[in-house]
Chain A
Amino acid sequence: MIQLKTMLNCIDNSGAAVVECVNVLKKQRAATVGDRIVVVVQKQRNFGPDTANNSGIANKVRRGDIRHAVVVRARKEMQRSDGSIVKFDDNACVLINKSGDPIGTRMNGVVATELRGKQWSKILSLAPMHV
């Protein structure tokens, strides 16, 4: 149940660590896994002082940026069509650009398989593990 003001972990290497949801897109309810949201980057991931100057691993987003994101994990349990229920211990998202491609190139952390049915299979393939 991700809604206005919800803080989410960002699990890609775009440079954001913690983001805050400011809008849920295409939905009048709380967002869950697979939903597109608008976020504000609240905390940056620092890759160390020496690497920060290198252009290679420079953060692609900065604190205060407004970006689109896809929810990949949710605390709220979700029921699957076979009756099983899955829930995670945190809310997490992946930043995407306006066209829907992920900003980061790597992801660390498990994601929900529900992304497959919602045209986010690119994110699913980037993820190291899915449940």
Chain B
Amino acid sequence: MTAFSPIMRQLACLRSLAKPQSSISSQLGRRSITTSYTPKSEPVPLPNKLPKQFISQLPERLQPAPGPKKVKVYPPPASARNACKDPVGAVAESQMAILDPKGERKALFDYRRNPRSVKVGDILRVTFKNGDPFSGVCLSIRLRGVDTSFLLRNELTRVGVEMWVKAFSPNVNSVEIVQRTEKRKRRARLYYMRQPKHDMRSVENIVTNYLRQKSALSGQRGRGQQQRQKRR
């Protein structure tokens, strides 16, 4: 059987030749039909003068366009940036004008520009609107525009007290320099003065001395004015 099969295959090959020609040609013919090209029928052009009442019946894409669709363009809103370049600065400036119209307080704390300003290590005395004063060594000054503040440290009844005071606060009536530092401090922040080794302890006696001197001076001045008035 194994010897027989190749012969059978050859015969099978021949079989296709033996097929009737008509069936092959019919296959070819069918194939040609499927690939035949028929040009697409051209759309019927719309009649030139279509009555207006029919136009609405046409599909939308065939309706004669009334020109490009108009999109309403609004002008951009006025830029706030052009109106005010630096709003934060403007607000700060206006606040400053209210809180410190003469600029004295600003000059008092602007230690970068004003050589006669408060320096760290100075002893300051602050009086508040409600009347109670607070005095202490200035440990640091924070220059932040309207939010400028300074840190005072003192010892009251043997307890260290520290207070950050806002320089432009309306609660602050006055800031006086009681005593300037003898030597320029070589630090911007004297936080080391919290350590017992460097602590100045109480500055109350220095402040009372200063107040006594001040009252004496102002008292003399007051008397002088009174004498002058009497002479008149």
Spell out A's residues near B (CB within 8 Å): 73, 77, 82-90, 92, 108-110, 128-129, 131
A92 surroundings in chain B (CB, below 8 A): 159
In the complex the two chains form, is B171's CB within 8 Å of A86's CB? no
B residues near A (Cβ < 8 Å) are: 134, 147, 149, 156-166, 169, 171, 194
Which residue of A has the minimal Cβ distance to B169?
A: A82
Q: How far is the CB of A42 from chain B (nearest CB, A)?
A: 20
| Contact between chains at A89 and B160 (CB < 8 Å) | yes
What A residues does B171 contact at CB under 8 A? Answer: 82, 84
Taking A73-B159, A109-B159 as known contacts, 8 extra A-B pairs with beta carbons closer than 8 A to each other, sorted by chain A number, are: A77-B162, A82-B169, A85-B164, A86-B162, A88-B159, A88-B161, A89-B194, A129-B156
In the bound complex, residues from chain A placing their C-beta under 8 Å from that of B162 are: 77, 86-89
How many contacting A-B pairs (Cβ < 8 A)? 53
B169 x A110 contact (CB < 8 A): no
B164→A88 contact, CB < 8 A: no
Instruction: Give the complex CA separation of A73 and B161 in angstroms.
Output: 10
The verdict on A110 contacting B157 (CB below 8 Å), with A82-B171, A83-B149, A84-B169 known, is yes
Q: Which of B147, B157, B161, B166 contacts A86 (CB 8 A)?
A: B161
Residues in A whose Cβ lies below 8 Å from that of B156 = 110, 129, 131
- The 8 Å CB contact of B157, one of A83, A87, A129, is A129
| Cα A89 to Cα B166 with chains together (Å) | 21
Query: What 8 A-B pairs are tightest by C-beta distance, nearest first?
Result: A89-B160, A85-B164, A110-B156, A83-B166, A82-B171, A110-B157, A109-B157, A87-B162
The answer on a CB contact under 8 Å between A128 and B157 is: yes
